[in-house]
Amino acid sequence: MAVVNELPKPMFPGMDPTFSLHYSEMIDAVNSLLGYRGDVAIKAPLDLGGNRIKNVGTAVEPSDAVSHALAEASYSATALQPKLESTGSNPLKSVRRVNDPNQREQSSSFLKDLLSTAPSANQVIPLTTPSMGGISVTIPAGLFTFADRSSVYLQSRTDLLTLPTATSITSISCVGNLVTVVTSAPTGVVAGQGVTIAGVSPATFNGSFTVVSVLSSTSFTYQLDLGTVSGSGGRVELLNVHYYTITKRSGYVRLLPVVSGDTAANRLQACFDNFQIIAVVVLTSTGSNVASSGGGGSAIVGSPTAGAMF
């Protein structure tokens, strides 16, 4: 594009050549400032003294300035908001580092409903004493700590509970890894239920097991790899397992309906509907099984360790 001078350069015949030269340079400078020689080049920062730049055209190059209207339409919070939504073209992908304790929610309903640490860590220790032909179980008052480190003050409670029955064994034998037990009276056990075999000779038959199948009202099987061997004497003790729970933020301790074994499935069932187990009490026909009660210090029969379930 040809360079055009808006201001012409008149000739001054007879004038001092130095004057003509300076005059010509002034004309060039004015034309440059008016843009008639292309872009106006400013050689120093432009100080407008707080005045506006008006009538800014549409930006073309990355270094072009933009108008207020364009900025509002393209870059304002209102303009960006729909793009940043989860369904927008540029959703926010990472706004919180979950493992960073400085960014962790301190008061989250989600965290509050998470299962807490094991009851053993919360020092919820049920006290059991024989009483009125059954057993008296006391859950002491105390603090229970949740996963978010908040705590609730547990209300104490004392329950009178019936001991489960024991039935004499008339015959017991093992073939391979399956033990068949015949009792003197119906036991009422069902497959999957936890039972304790005690007092049998040889003692290798004894222990806590899960019923594999029920053959009749007085006969059932459990799994134990003893080879081919028979035993004599002994009894079948059923377990009464009591789960003490709390719900949400309440310190009121509930006692769920009794179950027959401290199994993983029963613990999960006990934790439905926002119930949270705070203590387990296992009763046998002879009293409380302290080793299996309380904070779950011993293994669940045929399942992962009790502590792992909380």
| Contact status: 123 vs another protein (CB under 8 A) | no
Minimum Å distance from CB 198 to another protein? Answer: 23
Instruction: Tally the residues of the chain.
Output: 310
Residue 154 has φ and ψ, to the nearest 5°, of -75, 135
Report the residue from 147, 255, 271, 290 that binds another protein according to the rule CB under 8 A: 255
Q: Is residue 142 a contact residue for another protein (CB under 8 A)? A: no
Stretch that binds another protein, among 118-126, 183-191, 210-218, 256-264 (CB under 8 A): 256-264
Least separation, in Å, of the C-beta of 242 and another protein?
Answer: 9
At residue 284, φ and ψ (nearest 5 deg) are -115, 180
Residue closer to another protein by CB (options 212, 256) is: 256
* Closest CB to another protein among residues 130, 176: 130
Please give the size of the binding site for another protein, defined by CB under 8 A.
18
Judged by beta carbon, residue 158 or residue 177, the one nearer another protein is 158
Q: Are 219 and 183 in contact (CB under 8 A)?
A: yes
CA 25 – CA 3 distance, rounded (Å):
15
- DSSP-derived secondary structure letter, 176: T
Give Cβ neighbours of residue 30 (< 8 Å, ≥ 6 apart).
Answer: 7
Residue from 182, 258, 264, 271 binding another protein (CB under 8 A): 258
Distance in angstroms between the alpha carbons of the first and the last residue of the chain? 82
247 binding another protein? (CB under 8 A): no
Of 17-25, 88-96, 160-168, 272-280, the segment contacting another protein by CB under 8 A is 160-168
Closer residue to another protein (CB): 95 or 132: 132
To 10 degrees, the CA torsion angle through 119, 121, 123, 125?
A: 40
Among 30, 34, 160, 268, binds another protein (CB under 8 A): 160
Specify the residue, 37 or 157, whose C-beta has the smaller distance to another protein: 157
Contact status: 141 vs another protein (CB under 8 A): yes
Q: Does 127 engage in binding with another protein (CB under 8 A)?
A: no
Nearest residue to 268 via CA among 294, 222, 304? 304
Question: Rounded distance, CA 257 to CA 243, Å?
Answer: 8
Q: Which whole-number Å values give the CA distances from 176 to 93, 183, 215, 228, in the listed order?
A: 58, 21, 17, 6
Q: Candidates 217-225, 254-262, 285-293, 297-305 — which segment interacts with another protein by CB under 8 A?
A: 254-262
- Interaction between residue 162 and another protein (CB under 8 A): yes
- Sort residue 230 into left (φ over 0), alpha (ψ -120 to 50) or beta: beta
If the CB atoms of residues 10 and 133 are measured against another protein, the closer one turns out to be: 133
Q: Which two tokens stand for residue 259?
A: 């179950």
Backbone angles phi, psi at 279, to 5 degrees: -160, 150
How many other CB atoms are there within 10 angstroms of residue 294's CB atom?
22
Binding flag, residue 155, another protein (CB under 8 A): yes
Which residues lie below 8 Å from residue 67, measured CB to CB, with a gap of 6+? 56, 57, 58
Which parts of 19-78 interact with another protein (CB under 8 A)? none
Q: Is 257 in the site for another protein (CB under 8 A)?
A: yes
Letters for 199-238 (x = contact with another protein by CB under 8 A, - = none) are: ----------------------------------------
Q: Which residues bind another protein (CB under 8 A)?
A: 132-134, 141, 155-162, 252-253, 255-258
